[in-house]
Structure 1
Amino acid sequence: MPSTSAVIAIAPEAPTLKAHALLLGRRLDLRSLTHVEPLAMNPLVVRVSGGGRAVLMRYGAAVLFDVAPGAEASFLQLLAPCVREPLATPETETLEIVIDSTRGDLMERDRLVLCDSDAARLQVVADVLGKSVLLADQEAQVARAFDRIDPLAEELHRHGRGARRARHLIRHIGETLLIQHRLVGRAEVGDKPEVIWERPDLERLFLGLEAEFEVRERQVALERKLTLINDTAATLLDLLQTKRSARVEWYITILILIEIVLTLYQLFVRGPGG
């Protein structure tokens, strides 16, 4: 009986790459980054020396794709002069990406499947990861702001009086406005990336990633907390100003009474010609 052999075709393993997002500072001055060649714009995509690509956000985030640790360190050092108000400890986020041309773009458990790694897809992924690390940083700032505002509200509850320094309250209000400016003005959290308008086929990828990282939910929660902090500080500031206004009115009233007493003294005690 002749022998037969069965040939089993084993599908090659799909290539994978790692996305590493970092919030480096409060802003990236990309105009001074003249020594790299852009692969795409809005947001800026550049090639990293040593392999891989990077997507750079003006609000201070950089997302590196398939960049080795040594090449990443060299690239971040190259990028350092462009970072404004650098963070002592950057916020980070990582995501494993599988490139499989036979499948669509979708989240699969804790990793992302992409049909290819073209610049537009990487821009969409970087948009969500960049917003995620920015939200993480702002969430930490809001938590610290709550820790500072809580004793002031407790004092108002227990003793019926607020803070004694308007400067601290104005600083709280300014901090909330600055956080809102970073989220809405610079990062445009809640808006779709510009590449979606040119590539509407990537909208599903964006919405899936946005839901996975809970970008909108975290933004809404932050806005509620910022509103509460702002309202608390504004209320305490209003009480402080009202108290000061009442004090000034009492001073004016006392001065008027003193003036009346002095006038009566001159009229009735010392006499008209005294």
Structure 2
Amino acid sequence: MDTSLPAHARARYLGGRIHLRDLPGWTTVSTSPFTFAGESGGFFVVLRFGAMVGVGTRPEEEDRVLAAVLPLVVPREHSLADESVALEVGDDYHEGVRPDGSIQLRGLDAQRAQVVANALAKSAVLGHYEERVASVFDRVEALATQLHAATVPASSRDLLRQIGESLLIQTHMVGRVEVNEKPEITWDDPELDRLYERLALEFELADRDRALSRKLEVISEVAGTYLELLDTRKSRRLEWYIIILIAVEIVLILWELFGMK
């Protein structure tokens, strides 16, 4: 690896899914996950759940690869989540995370790059959804306040949109990102497994995933309760309409009867 520049790993969350079959013809060192060597050292790792990571690569090359990958992302996020961390590579290093937050590696091979990329990409995805859920949670908190005040002004369309958004996030996090699942490359390699464990602990992946899941549950519960109240109000309103129509019809019948006399 070229050490003329400080080494770093940089993850970008681009969107829902990357169509890997359409990626340009880079010479891959692995297809699961899609991994290829950088021109000036390091490795690029492209993950199906919508993240691209450069490990020990140069910023200018990262921008070129990003430009090639972006058209293959569906759906693409409007703002790209970005997370980076410093790397230190040395044969005698104890692999893991230093107190200053930098990652120490004994070497920079494809396997270690994939482990770093997997953990950093998951952290970037969590960061993206934490920000997104925070804005939804603020709106839901306002709904809870309105419920406490016995007011129900929101529309069912807005509520359905919020429920749908939380369900989409849950589906993506559980079905594609699999935050709590270790990458396959660590399953049969204790050294890589320990490295991933240290990175996952440093980035607080499990704790953040639990907190995010709990917020999504609260969003669904509050919005669902609110929606039920709206439906109840509509049902009662419809019942009153029917009662009024029946009353009017009775009045008309009585009017006709008495009018005929």
TM-score with structure 1 setting the length: 0.86
Residue 160 of structure 2 is matched in structure 1 by: 170
Task: Tell me whether 201-210 or 233-242 shows the greater mean CA deviation.
Answer: 201-210
Equivalent residues in 2 for 1:263-274, closer than 5 Å: 263-271=253-261
**Aligned-pair CA distance for 1:30:** 1.0
Percent sequence identity is 39
Correspondent of 1:157 among 148, 154, 160: 148
Whole-angstrom CA distance in 1 between matches of 2:42 and 2:94:
22
Q: Which amino acid aligns with 1:94?
A: S
Q: Residue 186 of structure 2 aligns with which residue?
A: 196
Amino acid in the other structure paired with 2:110: A
Match of 1:205 among 180, 195, 207: 195
TM-score normalised by the chain length of structure 2: 0.90
Contact 1:16 1:99 in 2 (8 A): no
Q: Any unmatched runs of 5+ in structure 2?
A: none
Listed one character per residue, the Cα deviations across residues 4-61 of structure 1 (whole Å, up to 9, x for unaligned) are xxxxxxxxx9x97311111123322111114112211321111233433101111221
Give me the CA root mean square deviation: 2.1
Q: 1: distance between equivalents of 2:243 and 2:154?
A: 23
Contact 1:91-1:137 within 8 A present in 2 as well: yes
What is the DSSP-based 3-state SS (H/G/I as helix, E as strand, rest coil) of the residue aligned with 2:143? helix
1:61 lines up with 2:51 in the alignment = yes
- Structure 1 residue 188: Cα displacement: 0.9
Is the 2:42–2:108 contact (alpha carbons within 8 Å) kept by the matching residues of 1?
no
Letter in 2 for 1:196: T
Structure 1 runs not aligned, ≥5 long: 1-12
Q: Distance in 1 between matches of 2:15 and 2:222?
A: 29
The match for 1:46 is: 36
Query: Would you say the 8 A contact 1:42–1:195 is kept in 2?
Result: no
Describe the shift of the 1:169–1:88 C-alpha distance in structure 2 as closer, same or farther (beyond 3 A). Answer: closer
Aligned match of 1:126: 117
Change (3 A) 1:98 1:165: same
Q: Tell me if structure 2 keeps the 8 A contact 1:45–1:119.
A: yes
* CA deviation after TM superposition for structure 1 residue 153, in Å: 2.5
